[in-house]
Amino acid sequence: MGYDTASKTDPESVVPAEYGGMWFLKDELESDHLGFSILELEPGAKGKEHDETHTDQEEIYYVVSGTAEVELTDRDETVTLEADELIRLDSAESRQIFNRGDDRAKLVLAGAPL
């Protein structure tokens, strides 16, 4: 088949509902190389600090709604993203996403090997 479809709720969220939710859709879409996830963070919630050196993939984060702060932990720097803004991260860049705003933040996360 030349295409696959999926719904955000096809897989179970890996983040408890009280913090928002995170749905990994790579397997649902039967993607060979591109990882695709939806992340929703309630106010005050945060994602896991990590880098992608083990997968050697770069990631792009697109903010659909709300505000997200991406802490670049090795640099001691924070990038604030509003709706319709993006950031691309190298695999070795250590990062953590925070929602320090008053509204739920919704992001699309895409990653692929370099």
SS3 at position 1: coil
Predicted confidence band at 5 (pLDDT cuts at 50, 70, 90)?
very high
- Residue 114's pLDDT is 75
Residue 1 has pLDDT above 70, yes or no: no
For domain 38-113, the CATH superfamily is: Jelly Rolls (2.60.120.10)
45-69, pLDDT tens digit by residue?
999 999 999 999 999 999 999 999 9
Residue 105 has pLDDT above 70, yes or no: yes
How far, rounded to the nearest angstrom, does the alpha carbon of residue 60 sit from its chain's CA centroid? 8
Residue 15 has pLDDT above 70, yes or no: yes
59-102, pLDDT tens digit by residue?
999 999 999 999 999 999 999 999 999 999 999 999 999 999 99
